[in-house]
Amino acid sequence: MTSANAALGQESSYETRKHTLAGLLIMIVLALPIFGLLVPGESFAAQLGREGLYWLCTLGLLGFVRFVERRPLSSIGWIRPGWKTLVFGVAGAAAMVAGMAAIYIVIFPLLGLSANEPTVTAIKLMPLWFRIVLLLRAAVFEEVFYRGFMIERLTEFTRLRWLAALVSLVAFTLAHVTGWGWAHLLIAGFGGIVLTALYLLRKDLACNMLAHFLTDVVGFLVA
C-alpha cells in the first residue's frame, strides 16, 4: 500500500512538473511578438486576423487551465463578480486615466517626447465596432495572461509573489514596444503598475478586466 501511494505521488509530481514546464513555455511564447509575425501587415484584414489569433489564444489558455492542469479558473483569479468588482474596477480606471493624463501633459513635455502616437491615431480611424472588439480583447487577453496566469503560475514556480508580479509587469510593459514605440513604455508601465497592484489587492480578474477596458475606452473612444 505504501509503495502504491509512493508511486501515485511520483506520478502526480511528474504531472505537476510537466504542467509547470508547459505553463512556462506558454508564457514565453505568448510574451513574444508572434502575432505580428504570423499575420504581418497593417491592412484591415491583417488586423482582423491578429485579433482572431488573440481570441483563440485566450480560449486556448483557459482550456489549458481547465482541461490540462485540471484546475478551476479561480486558480487564475476568476471569481464571481460582485459590487466590489465594479467599485474597484472603476476606481482603478480612474487612477489610470488620471495618471496617464499627467504623464502626457507633464512628463512627456519635460522629457521632450511627443504625445502624438501614430498607433493611437490609427486605432481611432478604425470602425467603431472593431475598436470595441479590440479594446475588449486587450482587456480580456492581457488580464488573463499577464495578471491571472503569469502571476499565479510564477508565484507557484518561484515561491515569491513579488518576483512573479515584477516579471509580469516587465513583460506586459515591454509587450507594448512593438507597434507603439519606446515613449509609450511610460504609459504602459504606469498602467501595468496600477493593474498589477489591483490584482494583488483583489485577485479579481473581472475587476482588472473592467479597469483595463474602461481606461482604454477613455483613451480610444472618448478622448
Q: Grid coordinates representing 173?
A: 510593459
14-44 exposure pattern, b = at least 16 Cβ within 10 A, e = fewer: eeeeebeeebeebbeebbeeebeeebeeeee
* Angle (deg, nearest 10), helices 2-31 and 150-158: 130
Higher pLDDT, 184 or 159: 159
89-101 exposure pattern, b = at least 16 Cβ within 10 A, e = fewer: beebbebbbebbe
pLDDT at 1 > cutoff 60: no
Ranking 3-12, 51-60, 103-112, 177-186 by mean pLDDT, the lowest is 3-12
Residues belonging to the chain: 223
pLDDT score for 139: 97
Which of 32-36, 44-48, 119-123, 187-191 tops mean pLDDT?
187-191
Confidence bin at 4 (pLDDT 50/70/90)? very low
Whether 209 contacts 81, CB under 8 Å: no
Whole-number Å distance between alpha carbons of 29 and 34: 7
Confidence bin at 12 (pLDDT 50/70/90)? low
Confidence bin at 124 (pLDDT 50/70/90)? confident
Q: What is the mean pLDDT of the chain?
A: 88
pLDDT score for 40: 84
Higher pLDDT, 109 or 122: 109
pLDDT score for 164: 97
pLDDT score for 13: 64
Q: Which residues, 6 or more positions from 217, have their beta carbon under 8 angstroms from its beta carbon? A: 135
Whether 143 contacts 195, CB under 8 Å: yes
Whether 150 contacts 164, CB under 8 Å: yes
pLDDT score for 7: 43
In 3D, which of 69, 65, 58 has the Cα closest to residue 35?
58
Whether 198 contacts 90, CB under 8 Å: no
- Sign of the torsion angle spanned by Cα atoms 186, 103, 209, 127: negative
Whole-number Å distance between alpha carbons of 99 and 181: 19
Domain map (residue ranges) of the chain: 2-222
Whether 220 contacts 124, CB under 8 Å: yes
Higher pLDDT, 122 or 175: 175
